Amino acid sequence: MPKLRLPIPFAAAALAAAFAALLPHVAAQAQENDTLAKIKASGAITFGYRESSFGFSYLDGNLKPVGYSIEICNRIVEAVKTELKLPAVEVKYQAVTSANRIPLVQNGTVDIECGSTTNLVERQKQVAFSPDIFRYNVRMLVKADSGIRSIADLQGKTVVTTTGTTSFRLLREADKGRNLEVNNLGGKDHSDSFLLVESGRAQAFVLDDILLAGQIANARSPKDFIITGESLRTENQSLMLRKDDPAFKALVDRVVSGMMKSGEMEKLYNKWFMSPIPPKGININYPLNAETKEAFANPSSKGI
């Protein structure tokens, strides 16, 4: 059968029509990644928040999202209002978990995640990050009378990690060939993971030490728990936003770095980690560590 050859003018017209049909999709995709344009059009921004990352992002007595990360995001909203010349921007809230936080940022449900997320280079293939707002060590929480004081003591024990975190992988990497045999449980959030240790279903909870400190501070009997063991890794927490959105990323970086340089970030840190906080007036009492001081002195979002 002879090949069908389109006249050149007809082929060019068909190509032009196909390109024209594609343009709305391309424009829609560009709009989807342009957070500032989205905010200007809707008059609103959606924060992703955690329900139990105490100090950082959690619910107060009135079930309102509060915390260190939330306050930083509020400063960003003020800058957005100035940038877009808007008298007001409505803040909407969307609860996120370790498991769904990245997809909800990617698909536009959440504009900025104001939680407790580690900035990993591998995650940067999917999302973008602010400069580090905190740096910490990954360790384990156990009952004070458990006798567990090191990774080796976990042999044969049940260890809980919050689903969607890197904690269990770090534990395996730290094992370094010792063939540690543990049973891993996954908590749906940090409070759920803590309850598994409190109830005796798990003997250790591996997570960022600052988040573990928040769980202990809010426990019925804080003296019954300790944070112990070797540091599995020093990690960094950042605010998370959509990838390939340079204008919004630049604004976020400017606000966060400015707060660090002015000393406002350290004051905010002391408010949430060195003072009584709602809803119970508990003090997490976690002094600013050397790693976080370095992050404030030299803002960076390069990740680890």
Q: 90-131 pLDDT, tens per residue?
A: 999 999 999 999 999 999 999 999 999 999 999 999 999 999
Superfamily of domain 33-135+236-297: Periplasmic binding protein-like II (3.40.190.10)
Q: What is the pLDDT of residue 150?
A: 95
Reply yes or no on whether the pLDDT at 280 is more than 60: yes
**pLDDT computed for residue 166 by the predictor:** 86
CB 133 within 8 A of CB 72: yes
Q: What is the pLDDT of residues 14-42, one digit of tens each?
A: 544 544 554 444 344 445 689 999 999 99
In three-state form (DSSP H/G/I as H, E/B as E, the rest C), the secondary structure along the chain is CCCCCCCHHHHHHHHHHHHHHHHHHHHHHHHHHCHHHHHHHHCEEEEEECCEECCCEEECCCCCEECHHHHHHHHHHHHHHHHHCCCCCEEEEEECCCCCHHHHHHCCCCCEEEEEEECCCCHHHCEEECCCCEEEEEEEEEECCCCCCCHHHHCCCEEEEECCCCHHHHHHHHHCCCCCCCEEEEECCHHHHHHHHHCCCCCEEEEEHHHHHHHHHCCCCHHHEEEECCCCCEEEEEEEEECCCHHHHHHHHHHHHHHHHHCHHHHHHHHHHCCEECCCCEECCCCCCHHHHHHHHCCCCCCC
Q: What is the structure's pLDDT at 11?
A: 46
Q: Which amino acid is at 2?
A: P
On the question of pLDDT at 163 being above 70, the answer is: yes
Q: Taking the domains of the chain in order of start, what are their residue ranges?
A: 33-135+236-297, 137-234
β-pairing verdict for 134-143 and 57-59: unpaired
Which numeric CATH code is attached to 137-234? 3.40.190.10
Q: How far is CA 72 from CA 38, 194, 225, in A?
A: 20, 26, 30
pLDDT of 179 reads 80
Model confidence at 5, in pLDDT bands (50, 70, 90)? low
